[in-house]
Amino acid sequence: MVRAIEWRESPTPHIRLIDQTALPAVETYLEITTVDALVDAVLSLAVRGAPALGATGALGVVVAMNQAAAEGWSDDELAAQILRIRDARPTAVNLAVGADRASAHVSEGVEAVLAAALELVAEDEAANRELSRLGADWILARTGKEKVRVVTHCNTGALATTAWGTAYGIIHELHERGALDYVYADETRPLLQGSRLTSWELTRDEIPHAIEVDGAASSTILRGLVDVAIIGADRIAANGDTANKIGSVALALACQRAGIPFVVAAPWTTVDLDTADGNDIVIEERPAEEVHSFGGAVVAPEGVTTFNPAFDVTPGDLVSAVVTEKGIAEPAASSSPEPLKDLISR
Amino acid sequence: MVRAIEWRESPTPHIRLIDQTALPAVETYLEITTVDALVDAVLSLAVRGAPALGATGALGVVVAMNQAAAEGWSDDELAAQILRIRDARPTAVNLAVGADRASAHVSEGVEAVLAAALELVAEDEAANRELSRLGADWILARTGKEKVRVVTHCNTGALATTAWGTAYGIIHELHERGALDYVYADETRPLLQGSRLTSWELTRDEIPHAIEVDGAASSTILRGLVDVAIIGADRIAANGDTANKIGSVALALACQRAGIPFVVAAPWTTVDLDTADGNDIVIEERPAEEVHSFGGAVVAPEGVTTFNPAFDVTPGDLVSAVVTEKGIAEPAASSSPEPLKDLISR
């Protein structure tokens, strides 16, 4: 299994990131030792995926402290630089959660911060394994099938997390149980995380699959070609409204019409109980170039305006299950206005 | 206004096609004098769009007859070559309708066939103008707005027709009336007819617009950014089920949830009353390369399987209006099982 993000001590302490913008053609790694380089990696999506961004936020505080020591920053400067990391992408709550958790230990010194960050990384892998087991159980029980056909969107595998994956983790778990028939992976424009990354991971894991354009997902569902849709999340509100990669809500609408479950898989850190519903989720808009070009080829008239939101919000009433390592909430079937809050208060 | 397809007599009689695979970078034309070249142009999508394919089918019979005369084909050989043109793309009913209409005159000689084909071309432009007026009236009445914001999918403009356009024709008509606020044009993977062609036409017509990835369309609708979705069609069944470019049904599902109209615009020739519903519509699957790459850039692991249907079918109960030059059917609101048949029996 590939590691998207790791802490390494030699030759100098650094974050080692696989450069996801170069996949699937080239497997190359970035060695991050400065805040500037880290923020660049986040903005270019060299590192992406909610859980991997959580690790990035936490380990980024260590990078900032090391740079502060080397360059003699004041406490205010260090705090400002940690804030730059924390807020590099507004929709991804995990980046802030990771940075906040590590920076709570700044007064204890860099070793304590590193320990807190590595603890978060270890917890993420454990959470992924647990939610994958829970999700596979739920899907097999709900569909009543011995083998399921799955559609997924974007990349939620080892590349998107610190290890194993979330939605992809459930797919992997189903495969290991012999309960997976086939996967349809949406290519996920504009940055093609599905065809570039998910298909790369599925191929490595020898999981039978096809890639399809995002526009095909709705009819793949309506034509009865799949039994369940499984996606990840960037932020989940208390009512189950789920921000995820642009295009996700199309799958949810089709699943509702087809009468098959729409499953959101994410570690508990992605749940934001302070956000009541999707109206309070800021939707990041990304640069026009992503839509103007395709794999380096210019595909639109020069200078044309683009609308390029990175995420959409799937209303909670379309979400059959939110699978976390703490348990499963069922917003679509719930009579509660805050099914996610109820999950932890059980 | 650009002409996607024209008949020209000199230097030798030929069909002149704008090569749509080269747009928006290069404006170049193909001069078609053989059946092989015509079928290649259809399969490569150098010419595309249901009404333009109708003209292609009709004028293609003239090309076949000229080639038959030059090369001394038997009647059987001529009939077989006309059938190749007729069936080059299975979902596009207009190609067959155009070929059948022209080939009914084969026994009268090539001049009669050409006259029949040119009559079809003239009728197509007149139909587009009329359905655009009817569609604009209907949309302004239904939305109750003075200016509307529109989302559209694929290309249905002058490039897709013989002139003016269908869904695009309504948009153009609204613009000329001062009743158009803004257009969101889906890029339309895999072949990007939206960003390459629709945006090129909108730019030429000075219509304010943005392009967006196909996955954005659902949330653009759910967020209240548009008042109506307008698409074309490749085949419309008697019950209103509509085959159109892959991704169309995602817009229909979102419009239903948002409570805004989903409008299908097409000349009457696109309506196939012999097809009871969408289950009888053959969905063409296209080559893997379209999903693997674009503009020479490979974006997926080598050899990965693709699922690449060219069309999806929007169920009639999601179609607020089918706008044709003969009038408007409202399948979603109709209690009839065959609202399209009722339209002409009025």
Q: A300 and B184: CB-CB below 8 Å? A: no
Distance between CA atoms of A291 and A306, rounded to whole angstroms?
A: 7
Domains A5-123 and A144-344 share a fold: no
Exposed, middle or buried by CB within 10 Å (0-12, 13-18, 19+), for A146?
exposed
Mean pLDDT of B142-158: 97
Identify the architecture of domain B5-123 in CATH.
Up-down Bundle (1.20)
Report the candidate in A278, A268, A261 with the shortest Cα–Cα distance to residue A340. A268
Residue B312 identity (one-letter amino acid): D
Residue reference for tokens 């990669």 = A245
Report the candidate in B158, B156, B205, B211 with the shortest Cα–Cα distance to residue B186. B211
Mean pLDDT of B206-228: 98
Tell me: the pLDDT tens digits for A193-204?
999 999 999 999
User: Minimal Cα distance from B286: which residue of A?
Assistant: A212
CA distance B191 to chain A (A): 10
Mean pLDDT of chain A: 95
Q: For residue A312, indicate whether it is catalytic.
A: no
Lowest-confidence segment of A39-53, B167-181, B311-325 by average pLDDT? A39-53
Count of Cβ atoms closer than 10 Å to residue B250 Cβ: 32
Distance between CA atoms of A25 and B82, rounded to whole angstroms?
A: 44
Task: Identify the pLDDT of residue A103.
Answer: 97
Q: B212 and A306: CB-CB below 8 Å? A: yes
Task: Identify the pLDDT of residue B133.
Answer: 98
Contact list, A306 vs chain B (CB under 8 Å): 210-212
What band does B297 get if pLDDT is binned at 50, 70 and 90?
confident
Contact list, A91 vs chain B (CB under 8 Å): none
CA distance A21 to chain B (A): 11
Q: A214 and B215: CB-CB below 8 Å? A: yes
pLDDT-above-70 percentage for chain B: 99
Mean pLDDT of chain B: 95
Q: What token pair was written down for A147?
A: 């083998």
What band does A219 get if pLDDT is binned at 50, 70 and 90?
very high
What band does A345 get if pLDDT is binned at 50, 70 and 90?
low
Mean pLDDT of B147-160: 96
Contact list, B294 vs chain A (CB under 8 Å): 294-295, 297, 299
Mean pLDDT of B305-330: 97
Tell me, what DSSP letter sits at residue A318?
G
Please determine, for residue B295, whether its predicted confidence score (pLDDT) is greater than 80: no
CATH class in words for A144-344: alpha beta
Q: B188 and A301: CB-CB below 8 Å? A: no
Contact list, A247 vs chain B (CB under 8 Å): 213-216, 218
Task: Identify the pLDDT of residue B294.
Answer: 72
pLDDT-above-90 percentage for chain A: 88
Distance between CA atoms of A64 and A69, rounded to whole angstroms?
A: 9
Q: A297 and B299: CB-CB below 8 Å? A: no
* Bridge partner list, B184: B151, B210
Mean pLDDT of B7-19: 96
The partner residue sitting opposite B213, judged by closest CB among A291, A297, A298, is A291
Tell me: the pLDDT tens digits for A252-262?
999 999 999 99
Lowest-confidence segment of A224-228, B332-336, B340-344 by average pLDDT? B340-344
What band does B346 get if pLDDT is binned at 50, 70 and 90?
low
Tell me: the pLDDT tens digits for B110-127?
999 999 999 999 999 999
The partner residue sitting opposite B297, judged by closest CB among A219, A292, A297, is A297
Mean pLDDT of B151-164: 94
Please determine, for residue B56, whether its predicted confidence score (pLDDT) is greater than 60: yes
Exposed, middle or buried by CB within 10 Å (0-12, 13-18, 19+), for A129?
middle
For residue B298, give the 3-state DSSP assignment. strand
Contact list, A203 vs chain B (CB under 8 Å): 301, 304
Residue reference for tokens 């403009």 = B157
Task: Identify the pLDDT of residue A141.
Answer: 98
Tell me: the pLDDT tens digits for B97-113?
999 999 999 999 999 99
Q: B293 and A291: CB-CB below 8 Å? A: no
Tell me: the pLDDT tens digits for A141-153?
999 999 999 999 9
Please determine, for residue B92, whether its predicted confidence score (pLDDT) is greater than 80: no
Task: Identify the pLDDT of residue B342.
Answer: 86
Which residues of B are annotated as catalytic? 234
Q: A203 and B257: CB-CB below 8 Å? A: no
What band does A93 get if pLDDT is binned at 50, 70 and 90?
confident
Contact A226, A151 (CB under 8 A): yes
Task: Identify the pLDDT of residue A346.
Answer: 54
Q: What is the CA radius of gyration of chain B?
A: 20
Distances (CA, A) of A21 to A48, A246, A312: 10, 18, 22
Please determine, for residue A243, whether its predicted confidence score (pLDDT) is greater than 90: yes
Tell me: the pLDDT tens digits for A100-122?
999 999 999 999 999 999 999 99
Q: A254 and B254: CB-CB below 8 Å? A: no
In sequence order, what are the residues at sequence separation of 6 or more whose Cβ sits closer than 8 angstroms to the Cβ of residue A10?
none
Tell me: the pLDDT tens digits for B66-76?
999 999 999 99
The partner residue sitting opposite A214, judged by closest CB among B189, B301, B304, is B189
CA distance A3 to chain B (A): 19
- The full DSSP string for B233-295 is -SEEETTS-EEEETTHHHHHHHHHHHT--EEEE--GGGEETT--SGGGS---B--THHHHEET
The partner residue sitting opposite B297, judged by closest CB among A296, A300, A301, is A296
Mean pLDDT of B298-306: 91
Residue reference for tokens 């039994």 = A227
Task: Identify the pLDDT of residue B177.
Answer: 98
| Domain spans, chain B | 5-123, 144-344
Q: What token pair was written down for B229?
A: 């979705």
